[in-house]
Amino acid sequence: MTPRSTAIPILRSLLELAAQLLIADNPDLLLPPEVIVLRTPPRLARARVLLAMTRDTYAALDAYENERLPGRAACPDDDELPF
């Protein structure tokens, strides 16, 4: 295994851990989008941005692996985190 191929699973694990920690610290992230929050606390707004960035980074890793390994299947649902 090359160092690059071993780094991807580590990055995925770190992204999963980051998402779990964000959700554990901000359980309101699990609220469905239909729930109206009149005044979003700044901490929750920042957590939403970080979670979106985590999702984007995970998608970028998928794209990188698909480019590197064309036979690999992509994540079936791009709107949800795969964990």
Mean pLDDT for all residues in the chain: 82
**pLDDT of the residue at 6:** 77
| Residue 7 confidence (pLDDT) | 85
Q: What is the sign, positive or negative, of the torsion defined by CA atoms of 61, 22, 81, 9?
A: positive
pTM for the structure as a whole: 0.70
Low-confidence ranges of the chain (pLDDT < 50): 83
Name the helix (H) or strand (E) containing 55: helix 42-68
Q: How far is the C-alpha of 13 from the C-alpha of 68, rounded, in Å?
A: 19
Q: Which two tokens stand for residue 40?
A: 């979003």
> Vertex 76, ends 73 and 79: CA angle to 5°?
135
Q: pLDDT per residue over 42-59, tens digit each?
A: 999 999 999 999 999 999
pLDDT of residue 37: 80
Q: What's the rounded Cα separation, in Å, for the pair 43 and 1?
A: 40
